[in-house]
């Protein structure tokens, strides 16, 4: 075989091998290569990291493109993977919600439980805000102070929300107001005015709070109105009768920005520096002379002063239900009332009724009287009169005589 013939065979063999390789590669590309579909795009680094960790846990193949902002998975598994990611912790974008309490630890202290509750509440708010259209990221910080029993020592809760919008979107006034209302409705005792919203650059985009009254001031106002309504009601009841009227008291401040005083001397009502508007509601109109009597009694009960703007008005309409101002007493077992053994009718001046004797003392006295009566009766039965004594002696002598006669006969 010549050299040219061998070279020709090598070329034929190499060409055939190349054709086979190209055919195999083309067949794999057309028939065996899996298509990858976009699972998520436009992701931040922390979001992509959470999704990749979930895919590794599930053993799902994936591809990362566009500098880590796009993740692709096999097209045949795209739908199932998308549903699985939506129900996993990766969808929370690293925010912890109320699933923090799924595995509760009974050994946690009360302070630790409060911290966990605050973290869960912040995470749930972040999830809700980031789910809004146009919102890219959000952070929520809650200030939840300890609750105090005294109104003067209470501190109102507050919240700060940082919102970053997507490219080309802005946070308009309506969206900001909605976020404020959302946070205020989630946190107990939190007003919308105490929710501050900032943008991604740290600028405050929420409206400045107006001269709204705090929760403490509202509680103080309600307590003052209830106090003076109770005083007026007690003064009017002897005139109109209980249940025949209702009283409504409104605090009248002298200025829009003026608040209530820090404290009020309830024994000296004239020292208050605000006016009271007292409204007496009756089912039907009452005569003018009765109104004058009721007005005088009500004005005296609240120590009214015309210079402060105090007034008493009358209205007709349905009676309002009066809330209980005094907490209900604890039910107690009723003790038996001792009878008046002195015959003085129980009137002992200001000393009050005498304390009842213990039960064992009365039982002992009853037993002693019974024993004494029985002893007297037995003693009276054992004593004999003179006739009974003579009859008993005669009977005894006859018995002795009968006994002696048989003895004599034997002798």
What is the secondary structure of 311-354 as a DSSP string?
A: EEEEEESPPPPPPPSSPPPPP-PPPPPPP-SSSSTT-BTBT-SP
The pLDDT value recorded for residue 368 is 75
Per DSSP, the three-state class of 74 is strand
The pLDDT value recorded for residue 343 is 41
d(CA 278, CA 295): 10
The 10s digit of each residue's pLDDT in 251-296 is 876 443 344 444 444 444 446 778 888 899 998 888 889 889 999 9
Q: Name the band, by pLDDT with cuts 50, 70 and 90, for residue 140.
A: very high
Mean pLDDT of the chain: 75
For residue 302, pLDDT beyond 80? yes
For residues 97-101, give the mean pLDDT: 73
For residue 175, pLDDT beyond 50? yes
Closest by CA position to 263, among listed 151, 108, 145, 376: 151
Residue by residue, what is the 3-state secondary structure of 193-229? Answer: HHEEEECCCCCECCCCCCCCCCHHHHHHHHHHHHHHH
The pLDDT value recorded for residue 337 is 43
For residues 110-134, give the mean pLDDT: 88
Stated pTM of the model: 0.45
For residue 316, pLDDT beyond 80? yes
The pLDDT value recorded for residue 178 is 93
For residues 317-333, give the mean pLDDT: 52
Calculate what percentage of the chain has a pLDDT beyond 90. Answer: 12
Q: Name the band, by pLDDT with cuts 50, 70 and 90, for residue 161.
A: very high
Query: How far is residue 252 from each of residues 218, 225, 258, 299, measured CA to CA in Å?
Result: 13, 10, 10, 15
For residues 386-399, give the mean pLDDT: 72
Q: Name the band, by pLDDT with cuts 50, 70 and 90, for residue 329.
A: very low
The pLDDT value recorded for residue 176 is 92
């Amino acid at each position: 075989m010549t050299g040219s013939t061998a070279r020709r065979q090598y070329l034929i063999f190499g060409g055939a091998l190349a054709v086979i390789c190209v055919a195999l590669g083309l067949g794999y590309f057309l028939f065996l290569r899996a298509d990858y579909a976009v699972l998520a795009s436009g992701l931040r680094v922390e979001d992509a990291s959470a999704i990749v960790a979930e895919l590794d846990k599930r053993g799902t193949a994936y591809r990362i493109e566009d500098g880590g902002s796009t993740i692709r998975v096999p097209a045949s598994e795209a739908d199932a993977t998308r549903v699985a990611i939506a129900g996993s912790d990766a969808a929370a974008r690293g925010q912890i919600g109320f699933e923090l309490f799924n595995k509760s630890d009974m050994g946690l202290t009360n302070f630790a439980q409060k911290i966990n509750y605050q973290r869960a509440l912040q995470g749930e708010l972040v999830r809700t805000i980031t789910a809004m259209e146009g919102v890219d990221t959000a952070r929520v910080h809650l200030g939840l102070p300890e609750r105090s029993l005294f109104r003067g020592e209470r501190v109102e809760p507050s919240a700060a929300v940082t919102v970053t919008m997507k490219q080309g979107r802005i946070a308009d006034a309506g969206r900001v107001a909605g976020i404020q209302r959302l946070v205020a409705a989630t946190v107990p005792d939190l007003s919308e005015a105490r929710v501050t919203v900032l943008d991604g650059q740290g600028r405050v985009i929420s409206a400045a709070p107006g001269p709204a009254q705090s929760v403490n001031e509202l509680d103080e106002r309600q307590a003052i109105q209830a106090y003076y309504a109770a005083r007026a009601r007690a003064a009017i009841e002897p005139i109109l009768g209980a249940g025949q009227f209702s009283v409504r008291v409104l605090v009248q401040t002298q200025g829009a920005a003026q608040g209530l005083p820090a404290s009020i001397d309830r024994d000296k009502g004239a020292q208050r520096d605000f006016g009271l508007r007292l409204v007496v509601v009756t089912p039907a109109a009452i005569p003018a002379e009765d109104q004058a009597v009721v007005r005088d009694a009500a004005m005296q009960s609240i120590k009214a002063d015309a210079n402060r703007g105090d007034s008493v008005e009358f209205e007709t309409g349905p009676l309002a239900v009066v809330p209980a101002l005094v907490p209900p007493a604890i039910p107690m077992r009723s003790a038996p009332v001792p009878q008046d053994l002195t015959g003085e009718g129980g009137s002992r001046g200001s000393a009050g009724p005498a304390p009842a004797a213990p039960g064992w003392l009365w039982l002992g006295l009853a037993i002693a009287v019974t024993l004494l009566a029985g002893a007297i009766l037995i003693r009276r039965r054992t004593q004999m009169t003179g006739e009974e004594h003579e009859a008993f002696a005669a009977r005894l002598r006859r018995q002795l005589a009968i006994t002696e006669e048989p003895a004599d006969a034997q002798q």
